[in-house]
Amino acid sequence: MSDSKLVACLKHWQVALMILLLVASAIAIGPRFEDGKFTTNLQYGLDLQEGTWLQMEFKAEVVGFETDRSVEDFVADLQKQLDAEIYLIDENKLEIRSYYPEETLRTIFSAAGGRLTSYEQGVSRDTADDVKRILENKLNALGTKDARVNPLTGISGVSHYIRVELAGVSLSQAKEIVGTQGKFEIRIHTTGNQTEHVLYGDTITTVGVPSHEPPGSPVWGVSFTLSDEGARKFQEGAIATGAVSAPDAHYLDMVLDGNVVYSAPLSGDLAAKLAVEPIRQLYASTGTGAAGLEAAKNLEIHLRAGALPVDVTVAGSGYVPAALSDYFRMMCVIAFVAAAIAVGVVIYYRYREPSIVFPMIGTNLTEIVILLGIATLIQQLDLAAIAALIAVMGTGIDQLVIITDEILHEGKVPSPTLYKKRLARALGIILVSAFTVIIAMIPLALMDLSSLRGFALITIIGVVIGVAITRPAYGEIIKEILSK
């Protein structure tokens, strides 16, 4: 291509934009040698990186109900029948944090003077977020790098599963990390900085969600209950340390794995009661406003000592060893190069004209580089995403063929007006087929079908880049090249 044609190409904003994005993407991908090894900024998902995934199912359900009785009475009745924590999450929706089959609940609801109107296994979005937060806290505390926790929430807002991906961790290690609890302890200050052990977390029987106490006040806090033994220890400790008689001089510390997570004096009211009898129902206040609520949420997690508010079972799991993931990564590169060469051969066979074939392949590869550049920001690459990448290359070249054939109708380059008309028509065809691909992939991108999300996202982004940027640019390039 002569210099003047090159300049003419660059004057089209489509071409300039494409080249700009190509350069930006190359920078984003950042291929380089580090310690003699070739690295990039591409993020790899499991399959292309050693690690474990665990998909866990919540042993809880969100149910709709109807009752003529007052909601409080009704829920109180249910509470007696079911050995589970029950929360009202909506006017007519309950979250039951223990697993019961639909039929069992239907019977119990009828007996309590109501009716079960819907049943879905899982937890509310808020609870799922709590679980995510607890798991992330735990993983961070253990220094696990590169952990991902994602609740899979359906269209109804109920999360049935939560997926955990841990890079560089084996399956048994992962299960251990997710399953183990921290060590929780309550200590009371004696003199100076000295504290004395009162009880361990195993005597805490239930932990509530953040609430106002007394109801209606602006103060946030978390209520929790102790077992009889715990309540007795708590009373003994409070009396022995002198906290009952002088609460402000003897702060109470909550300690998780050696770190103080909460420290406050007993309230005067509680101190007076403890002097007389053991108290099982306790409440720790954390302050007012958003800060108080945030502190209450964290305290709830600490009180549970890393135990999840809802039981989970492992619904699916998998492990990819390092040797295999390295191998997969290498094979993906080979598959990609082979596909690119195959496409080049077919295109050359059809057009036999280097001035068409090279821009075509060049545009196609540019599309892939821009796609990878965007992927560094939003999507990890796994095997399914690589397959999508190769498929994008396939559709990309298809559409360049449409443009070329449409413009080169009868083998001649048309006049500028005719050219415009033909390019518009070619882009029309491309637009319709691009829309169908996008529409076909949207369900996969929105649904949480584990690994297929990457496949769908890469396909959609690839098609959008093609339609919006690279294919119009190719139209301009081919015109400049072929015009005499």
Partner 1 sequence: MGLIAYDVNKYTPRQMMMIPMVILILSLAILGYNMATTGMPVRPGIDFSGGTAVTLFTTDTPGQLEQKFQGYPLLSVGEGVNNGKYLKFGPMDDASLQALAALINAEYPDAKIDQIGASFGKTLQEQALLALIISFIGMAIVVFLAFRTLVPAVAVIFCAFTDIAMTAAGMGLVGIELSLPTVAALLMLIGYSVDSDILLTMRVLKRQGKLEEKLSGAFQTGIIMTTTTLAAVAAMWIIAFVGQITVIWEIATVLLIGLVLDMMNTWLTNAGIIKWYVLKRGGK
Contact positions with partner 1 (CB under 8 A) in 46-105: 47, 55, 57
Is 338 a binder of partner 1 (CB under 8 A)?
Answer: yes
Is 429 a binder of partner 1 (CB under 8 A)?
Answer: yes
Please work out the total of residues on this chain that contact partner 1, with binding judged by CB under 8 A: 75
Is 393 a binder of partner 1 (CB under 8 A)?
Answer: yes
Taking residues 230 to 259 in sequence order and writing x for each that binds partner 1 by CB under 8 A, - otherwise, the string is ------------------------------
What is d(CA 208, CA 220) in angstroms, rounded to the nearest whole number? 12
Smallest distance from partner 1 to CB 381, Å:
12
CA 177 to centroid of chain Cα atoms:
19
* Of 104 and 110, CB closest to partner 1: 104
Smallest distance from partner 1 to CB 234, Å:
37
**One of 30, 113, 268, 443 touching partner 1 (CB under 8 A):** 443
* Of 13 and 435, CB closest to partner 1: 435
**One of 350, 365, 369, 464 touching partner 1 (CB under 8 A):** 350
Smallest distance from partner 1 to CB 50, Å:
10
* Of 16 and 339, CB closest to partner 1: 339
Please report, for residues 196, 247, 285, 331, 446, the alpha-carbon distance to residue 267 in angstroms, rounded to integers and kept in the order given: 19, 7, 10, 66, 49
- Greatest Cα pair distance in the chain: 103
Question: Which residue stretch of 23-31, 101-109, 185-193, 323-331 sits at the interface with partner 1 (rule: CB under 8 A)?
Answer: 323-331
Closest of 130, 74, 121, 125 to residue 102, by C-alpha:
121
Give the list of residues 6+ apart from residue 130 with CB closer than 8 angstroms, or none. 297, 300, 301, 309
The helix/strand/coil state of 473 is helix
Neighbours of 411 (CB within 10 A): 5
Is 459 a binder of partner 1 (CB under 8 A)?
Answer: yes
Give, as ranges, the residues between 351 and 390 that touch partner 1 (CB under 8 A): 383-384, 386-388, 390
The helix/strand/coil state of 92 is coil
Smallest distance from partner 1 to CB 475, Å:
15
**One of 86, 108, 171, 413 touching partner 1 (CB under 8 A):** 171
Please report, for residues 43, 172, 290, 369, 464, the alpha-carbon distance to residue 385 in angstroms, rounded to integers and kept in the order given: 12, 27, 40, 14, 16
Smallest distance from partner 1 to CB 118, Å:
17
What is d(CA 395, CA 222) in angstroms, rounded to the nearest whole number? 56
Taking residues 275 to 314 in sequence order and writing x for each that binds partner 1 by CB under 8 A, - otherwise, the string is --------------------------------------xx
Residues 326-339: b if buried by 16+ CB within 10 A, e if exposed: eebbeebeeeeeeb
Give me the helix-helix angle, 354-378 and 471-482, nearest 10°. Answer: 160
Smallest distance from partner 1 to CB 476, Å:
20
Determine the length of the chain: 484
**One of 74, 161, 262, 419 touching partner 1 (CB under 8 A):** 161
